[in-house]
Amino acid sequence: MGGAAVSSLLATPTPTSRPRSVSTTTVPFSVNLSTAAARAPRLLLLSRRPRPAAAALGVSDDTGVKMAGSDIVGKNDLLIVGPGVLGRLVAEKWQEEHPGCKVFGQTASTDHHNELSNIGIIPSLKGSTFPQKVPYVIFCAPPSRSDDYPGDVRVAASNWTGEGSFVFTSSTALYDCSDNELCNEDAASLAIAIMKKGHRGRIFLGCDNKPLSRQEIMDSVNRSGKFDTKFQGFTGTDGPLGKKMENSRTRSEIGWEPKYPSFTEFLGLDS
């Protein structure tokens, strides 16, 4: 994730699961897998487009999702609760790895249902029922669109078979991925890597292990020569300082690394 403006991806922890702070790296995002998906989440996270396929896979209405042809759910079918930027990237990468799978997307409104259908996601409103449960679920809906966030997580969990994986994402770091495409791609690749491992009740962190302060980030941007305008300084000095964390265990267990080892290397600078 390029190590700079990055976000946290975190899931519903079990009562004894806690991310462990270590003073070695800036946290881009963390992911936690949990069978205890019904518990209230503590933290939150987070395009290219998948090929159109939804029309052939199924249809949805306000009350449920109907499969085309039959109610059979495939072994690689995926439900994305909150298919925004991260969710759509996950859908694209998941369909590339599992051709022919069905990808469902639950949303708070129907505003983007046509758009989701056009990019290969079968849309429905949150709370919709499925004729059968699905083996893979990723919950990346923001709490800002919910009147009962823990309840929404429980509903999502009720559509999960208990096999495969249920991943809850949570962005808690100071930075986020809202304008950082590289960060979003790294977050999606980590989420998929975790889903494929099938762990239970675990928290995983994604970061580049090369921490930088805000000032160091902007100094690097100036040194890169990639922008005509030079950064002059910050307008304020208050606010949280951020966190430093390390994810060597995540990397060894999941086999994941960000696309670039550090933000400076992303900019083409010597580390």
Tens of pLDDT, residues 99-114: 999 999 999 889 999 9
Least confident of 19-33, 40-54, 204-218: 40-54
Say what the pLDDT of residue 181 is.
66
Say what the pLDDT of residue 94 is.
96
Tens of pLDDT, residues 129-160: 777 899 999 998 888 878 898 898 888 989 99
Inside any domain, residue 72:
yes
Strands (E), the chain: 29-33, 58-60, 65-67, 78-81, 103-107, 122-125, 134-139, 160-170, 202-206
Residue 233: which region, alpha, beta or left (left: phi > 0; alpha: psi -120 to 50)? left
Inside any domain, residue 262:
yes
Quick one: the chain helix, strand, coil %, rounded to 5? 30, 20, 55
Is the predicted pLDDT of residue 78 greater than 90, yes or no?
yes
Say what the pLDDT of residue 10 is.
39
Inside any domain, residue 8:
no
Inside any domain, residue 100:
yes
Q: Which amino acid is at 149?
A: Y
Inside any domain, residue 16:
no
Interval 85-110 mean pLDDT: 93
SS (H, E, C) 154-181: HHHHHCEEEEEEEEEEECCCCCCCCCCH
Inside any domain, residue 20:
no
Tens of pLDDT, residues 235-267: 887 776 777 878 899 999 999 998 888 888 888
Inside any domain, residue 13:
no
| Domain total in the chain | 1
Report the CATH number that the domain containing residue 131 is assigned in CATH.
3.40.50
Q: Are 253 and 193 in contact (CB under 8 A)?
A: no
Residue, of 253 and 57, whose pLDDT is higher: 253
Band of pLDDT at residue 73, cut at 50, 70 and 90: confident
Band of pLDDT at residue 82, cut at 50, 70 and 90: very high
Tens of pLDDT, residues 210-238: 888 888 889 999 999 888 889 888 888 77
Is the predicted pLDDT of residue 171 greater than 60, yes or no?
no
Say what the pLDDT of residue 173 is.
44
Inside any domain, residue 2:
no
Range of the domain at 223: 29-227+237-266
